[in-house]
Amino acid sequence: QIQQHQSNCTMDTATFHVDNAFGLGSHLYMWSQALCNAWESGYRVQTHNPVWLWMDQAYCDSDKAAMSPLLCYFPEAEFQCPRDESLEQRILSSEASIQSIPRNVSNPRLSHLRCERIRNDPAYLTEFRAASMEYLFHRISPIILQEAARQVGLLVGGSGGGQVPADLITVHMRYGDKFWEMDLAPAEEYTAAVSQILFQRGQGHNRTANIY
C-alpha cells in the first residue's frame, strides 16, 4: 500500500523538512510518521534538507540531495513520478502557482499532529512502522551494499572474500549520549546476555566464541 501511495502520480507532494538533530534511526522513524501524516492529508511525502547530517558527502550527489537527501540511500522511496522536482525548482518555475508549491508535512515530532489512525490504534502503529522500514529498504543504493561488504572485510580479513562465522554474536554497547534518554546498562549486562546466548546454543563451555 505504501508503494502504491508513493507512486500515485495523481497526488501532489508534501515536504518533510528533516532536521540535523538526533540519530539516523530517529530520522527514519520520523520519516515513517511524516509519511503517515502526508498520507492522511492526501499527499505523497518528499524529504528536504540538502545538507542532511547523515548524508555521506563523499558518496552522495549534491544535485540529488537538493531534491531529497534520501535519494542517496533509498533511490525509490520518493520521486517516482516524472513531475517530481525539488522545492526550489518548483517555486522558480515560470508555471508555478501557489497551488503547485509543495505543502509542509505536519511536524511528526508533535504527538497531537500525528495521523488519526496511528493515534487511535497502537497495533496499527507497530504494523505501519514495520511496513515503512520494509518499504525504505526494499531497494537500497549500491553505496550501502559496498559499505557493508567493506565492513565485513574489516571483520573477517581479506579483500571481502572472507566468510562471516556462522555462530557470530554481535553486540552493540550503547553508551555515548544515550544517557540523555535512559540509564545506561552496565557492561556486566552485556556479557551476561552473551553468556545466555552461548548457553542456549549449547556452547556454554566452549573455550572460544566469535563475538563482534
The number of beta carbons lying within 10 Å of the beta carbon of residue 43 is: 20
Instruction: Return the exposure string of 77-95: e unless at least 16 CB atoms fall within 10 Å of the residue's CB, then b.
Output: bbbebeebbbbeebeeeee
- Provide the H-helix boundaries in the chain: 2-6, 24-40, 62-67, 87-92, 116-120, 122-137, 142-156, 187-200
153 neighbors 160 (Cβ within 8 angstroms): yes
What confidence tier does 204 reach under pLDDT thresholds 50, 70, 90?
A: low
Q: Which residue has the higher pLDDT, 177 or 184?
A: 184
Residue 73, SS3 per DSSP:
coil
Residue 37's nearest CA partner among 122, 111, 87 is 111
Q: Nearest 5°: CA angle at 49, between 43 and 53?
A: 130
- Dump pLDDT digits (tens) for 127-176: 999 999 999 999 999 999 998 888 888 888 754 456 788 888 999 998 88
How far apart CA 33 and CA 78 sit, in angstroms, is 15
41 neighbors 63 (Cβ within 8 angstroms): no
Type and span of the H or E element at 47: strand 44-48
Q: Which grid cell is 3? A: 508503494
Q: Which residue has the higher pLDDT, 74 or 157?
A: 74
Cell 501524516 appears where? Answer: 37
- Provide the H-helix boundaries in 87-141: 87-92, 116-120, 122-137
- Evaluate the CA torsion angle 136, 138, 139, 143 in order and state its sign: positive
- Helix (H) and strand (E) counts in the chain: 8, 3
The predicted model gives 174-199 an average pLDDT of 90
The number of beta carbons lying within 10 Å of the beta carbon of residue 62 is: 11
Give the predicted TM-score (pTM) of the model.
0.75
Q: Is the pLDDT of residue 91 over 80?
A: no
Question: Distance of CA 194 to CAs 127, 167, 211, Å?
Answer: 29, 12, 9
